[in-house]
């Protein structure tokens, strides 16, 4: 039980007393609450996913999402407090994601956090969801491993999820420079749309990755898009190229029926290769340019093994990604980010509003 844990505790020893933060995350389709100690120990991490419900619609249905958050938020918070275990009086603060995300969904989590903070006389801390993905790298993971151990700034961070594709240069704690983002679809959104096109179901990323495993990634050449801004991404072109390729085999309605002769594994593998290529080329170029010590991946798409492998192969610096339970949306990462904000003195007022289009910069 020593090794990396001991190194880490020498860092945390300078911070007294240890913070204990209840964090709430409801920006999209996961209702999540966690209790995080000292910014790195996950005392509890409860996630109620709505994925099965949204699968019926082939994507997240905002009205349904906010209604489900309302139904689940109280039991999820209670469970996080019980599992920790923590009493209200033990808490240093209550944190919640206030953006970016779906307005109705964000409102549920932020309102719950305000209610608890107000009722218990605790500080309220609003957290940017993307900053949460960044700080997932500073959490203690299984056994005695701490993912953030030894991280040195500047760091190059690639956040790839259903709603975001962001290339961020992090020069210090809480200091970000947004180098680029997607000009159209997010990377995960492209996976989801192409999966629907190939009748593979929702969420699309894992389905494409599974099918692509038996496909030929070089069968279709989906060209790298030309974008004016150096570190910007674009995925709508490759999505349209896949549609055209499918149409060459017969009629398709673009969402659920694929011509019988269409080579779905080859299409999936070629699409995945094109998306991965774009992400890797830009991230590696940016890491080299800004002298990043490491490349950190975050967000749901960083679960993709082809992305991880290609990034590791091409990068000139180490590449890290969080374990799967921290790649996808969760509240532990919000608690980690909130710790650094708390230590920096951030305290939000009761007038803190949701910010559905919040940026990280
Ligand atoms: O971070 P996340 O859980 O939620 C958002 O904030 O969006 O990311 C979900 C996204 C979905 O678009 C899903 O298709 C994608 O991550 N995803 C993947 C994989 N697993 C999840 N994309 C590619 N390969 C995967 N293995
Ligand atoms: Zn996310």
Q: Give 28-60 pLDDT, tens digit per residue.
A: 888 999 999 999 999 999 998 877 776 777 677
Q: Which residue CA neighbors atom 2 of ligand 1 most closely? A: 300
DSSP state of 27: S
Ligand 1 center–CA 85 separation, angstroms: 30
Atom of ligand 1 nearest to the CA of 163: 7
- From the CA of 127, the nearest ligand is 2
Chain centroid to CA 291: 24
**123-146: b (≥16 Cβ within 10 Å) or e:** bbbbbbbbbbbbbbbbbbbeeeeb
CA nearest 171: which of 180, 163, 179? 179
| Residue 361: pLDDT band with limits 50, 70, 90 | confident
Judged by DSSP in three states, 120 sits in: helix
pTM as predicted: 0.91
Q: Residue 9: its pLDDT value, please?
A: 41
Would the pLDDT of 271 be above 90? yes
Distances (CA, A) of 33 to 7, 25, 78, 182: 28, 6, 9, 29
CA distance 24 to 112: 8
| Sign of the torsion angle spanned by Cα atoms 198, 202, 207, 212 | positive
**Site of tokens 């593998």:** 269
Q: What is the pLDDT of residues 230-246, one digit of tens each?
A: 999 999 999 999 999 99
Q: Residue 144: its pLDDT value, please?
A: 53
Would the pLDDT of 15 be above 50? no
191 lines ligand 1 (CB under 6 A): yes
Q: Residue 41: its pLDDT value, please?
A: 93
Would the pLDDT of 1 be above 50? no
Q: Residue 340: its pLDDT value, please?
A: 96
Would the pLDDT of 268 be above 60? yes
Q: Residue 201: its pLDDT value, please?
A: 86
Using a pLDDT cut of 70, give the percent of the chain over it: 91
pLDDT, greater one: 256 or 310: 310
- From the CA of 129, the nearest ligand is 2
163 lines ligand 1 (CB under 6 A): yes
Ligand 2 center–CA 16 separation, angstroms: 30
Q: Which residue CA neighbors atom 22 of ligand 1 most closely? A: 205
CA distance 49 to 53: 9
Atom of ligand 1 nearest to the CA of 306: 24
Atom of ligand 1 nearest to the CA of 188: 12
Ligand 2 center–CA 130 separation, angstroms: 7
Q: Which residue CA neighbors atom 10 of ligand 1 most closely? A: 162
Ligand 2 center–CA 80 separation, angstroms: 19
CA nearest 145: which of 344, 336, 326, 7? 7
| Residue 227: pLDDT band with limits 50, 70, 90 | confident
**Site of tokens 């961020």:** 168
Structure-block tokens of residue 335:
């608690």
Average pLDDT over residues 174-186: 96
pLDDT, greater one: 106 or 67: 106
Q: Residue 254: its pLDDT value, please?
A: 63
């Amino acid at each position: 039980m020593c090794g990396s844990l001991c190194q880490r505790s020498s860092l945390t020893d300078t911070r007294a007393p240890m913070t204990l933060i209840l964090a709430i995350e409801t920006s999209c389709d996961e209702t999540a609450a966690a209790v995080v100690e000292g910014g790195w120990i996950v005392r509890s991490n409860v996630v109620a996913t709505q994925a099965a419900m949204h699968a019926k619609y082939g994507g997240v249905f905002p009205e349904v999402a906010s209604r489900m958050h309302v139904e689940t938020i109280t039991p999820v918070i209670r469970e996080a407090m019980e599992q920790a275990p923590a009493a209200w009086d033990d808490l240093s603060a209550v944190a919640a994601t206030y953006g970016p995300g779906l307005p109705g969904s964000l409102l549920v989590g932020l309102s719950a956090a305000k209610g608890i903070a107000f009722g218990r006389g605790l500080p309220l801390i609003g957290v940017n969801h993307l900053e949460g993905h960044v700080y997932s790298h500073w959490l203690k993971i299984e056994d005695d491993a701490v993912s953030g151990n030894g991280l040195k700034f500047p760091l190059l961070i690639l956040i790839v999820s259903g709603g975001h594709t962001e290339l961020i240069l992090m020069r210090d704690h809480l200091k970000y420079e947004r180098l680029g983002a997607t000009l159209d679809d997010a990377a995960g959104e492209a996976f989801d749309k192409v999966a629907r096109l190939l009748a593979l179901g929702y969420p699309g990323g894992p389905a494409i990755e599974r099918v692509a495993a038996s496909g030929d990634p070089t069968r279709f050449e989906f060209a790298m898009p030309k974008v004016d801004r150096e570190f910007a991404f674009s995925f709508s072109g490759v999505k349209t190229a896949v549609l055209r390729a499918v149409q060459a085999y017969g009629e398709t309605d673009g969402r659920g029926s694929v011509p019988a002769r269409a080579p779905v594994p080859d299409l999936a593998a070629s699409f995945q290769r094109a998306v991965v290529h774009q992400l890797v080329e830009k991230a590696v170029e940016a890491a080299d340019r800004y002298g990043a010590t490491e490349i950190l991946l975050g967000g749901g798409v960083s679960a993709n093994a082809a992305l991880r492998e290609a990034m590791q192969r091409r990068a000139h610096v180490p590449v890290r990604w969080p374990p799967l339970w921290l790649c996808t949306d969760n509240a532990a990462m919000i608690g980690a980010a909130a710790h650094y904000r708390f230590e920096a003195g951030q305290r939000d007022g009761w007038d803190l509003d949701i910010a559905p289009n919040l940026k990280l910069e």
